[in-house]
Amino acid sequence: MTDDTLPTLAVWKFASCDGCQLTLLDCEDELLGLADRVRISHFLEMSGAEGTGDDGPAGLEGVGPYDLSLVEGSVTTAEDARRIRRIRQISRRLVTIGACATAGGVQALRNFADVTEFRAAVYAHPEYIATLATSTPISAHVPVDFELRGCPIDRRQLLEVITAYLAERKPNIPAHSVCYECKRRGTTCITVAHGTPCLGPVTHAGCGAICPAYDRGCYGCFGPSNTLNMPAMVRQLQHDGMSERDVVRVFRTFNAASPEYAELPGLVNQDTSTDRETG
């Protein structure tokens, strides 16, 4: 083996469910081939060794340098805030994978709570737990070369990102909405045809528009698209029968802390009052 000449890949975990790094292990057809072309130098879920094993057991800090680091999860502890800075220093390229690393994840729902009360009400012994008041994306702590969306990420998109960075090119990951993917897939618009509430118009593409193909409205697990009109979206969702509470709930899930959703509470209240006036 000429492992020394191969580009090196590292995979890191912060607060998360492991699903996005599992996506790499779900590349059943490509995994062994990838391992021939890339040195998977640090990936705790897959290997107990650092590098080719000569660097000893893999630790949380890594050894580096790495050509490409994939980072899963959000920052929720002071220790992790320090660790991501160290990982940035030893990584030539750093790509976040998934909603936690890119937007704070579902655990960012804590950002909307009264944190002191929240923590005291939850743990029998809060003093045993070290946690920050917020769950923040990796980009709030270090510069990020690319953010791959999704809760979870899409396998094909992950392979595209790895391939692109290894070939020193920009990944071909469109930032338009899920609507484009429904059209490409040939799925009839479920909002137009059935009045099903759907977040597709404001949601980042990448999943392949799975939900509408299963007679379900998009629930936004890839987060906001590049051009989104939130006031129009909220109006449409309410038109299709969602209550103001349900509209807030559906955006406050896996990408809750996305800045694009920040105007939501105002929009919902405003729309309700408009409805009352006109109704």
Partner 1 sequence: MSHRGERILRLDALARVEGEGALHLAIGDGEVTDTRLRIYEPPRFFEAFLIGRGHTEPPDITSRICGICPVAYQMTACQAIEAACGVTVDGQLAELRRLLYYGEWIESQSLHIHLLHAPDFHGHPSAVELAREQRGPVERGLRIKQAGNAVMELLGGRAIHPVNVRLGGFYRVPTRSELAPLAEQLRRVRDDALETVRWVAGFDFPDAEIDCELLAMQESGRYAIDSGAPTVLSPADGTTPNQANSQRRFPVGEFEQHVVEEHVPHSTALRSSLDGRRHLTGSLARYAISGRWLHLTAAEAARAAGLGDPATGAVCRNPFRSIVVRAVEVVHAVEEALHIIGAYEPPPRPHVDVAPRAAEGCAATEAPRGLLYHRYAMDADGTLTFARIVPPTAQNQAAIEEDLRRLVQARLDRPGDPPTDEELTGLCERAVRNHDPCISCSAHFLDLTVDRA
Task: Please report, as ranges, the residues that interact with partner 1 according to CB under 8 A.
Answer: 13-23, 25-26, 28-29, 31-32, 35, 40, 43-49, 53, 57-60, 76-77, 80, 105-107, 109-110, 113, 118, 120-125, 128-129, 131, 135, 151-152, 207, 210-211, 213-216, 219, 221, 245-246, 249, 253-254
4 versus 277: smaller Cβ distance to partner 1: 4
- Closest C-alpha among 200, 198, 157 to residue 180: 200
* Spatial contact of 104 and 46, defined as CB atoms under 8 Å apart: no
118 versus 273: smaller Cβ distance to partner 1: 118
CA-CA-CA-CA torsion sign (174, 176, 182, 184): negative
CA distances from 105 to 79, 87, 157, 194 (A): 18, 20, 19, 30
Cα(247)–Cα(254) distance, rounded to whole angstroms?
A: 14
* Spatial contact of 200 and 209, defined as CB atoms under 8 Å apart: yes
Minimum CB separation from partner 1 for residue 63, in Å?
13
Please state whether the peptide bond connecting residue 137 to the residue before it is cis, i.e. omega within 30 degrees of 0: no
38 versus 202: smaller Cβ distance to partner 1: 38
C-beta neighbour count of 92 within 10 angstroms: 14
165 versus 222: smaller Cβ distance to partner 1: 222
Minimum CB separation from partner 1 for residue 140, in Å?
16
234 contacts: CB under 8 Å, gap ≥ 6: 247, 264, 267, 268, 271
Minimum CB separation from partner 1 for residue 199, in Å?
12
106 versus 164: smaller Cβ distance to partner 1: 106
18 versus 263: smaller Cβ distance to partner 1: 18
Minimum CB separation from partner 1 for residue 30, in Å?
10
Minimum CB separation from partner 1 for residue 127, in Å?
9
CA distances from 62 to 42, 57, 119, 135, 174 (A): 7, 10, 31, 23, 32
Across the strands, what pairs with 72?
13
Minimum CB separation from partner 1 for residue 177, in Å?
17
* Spatial contact of 78 and 71, defined as CB atoms under 8 Å apart: no
Minimum CB separation from partner 1 for residue 147, in Å?
18
170 versus 185: smaller Cβ distance to partner 1: 185
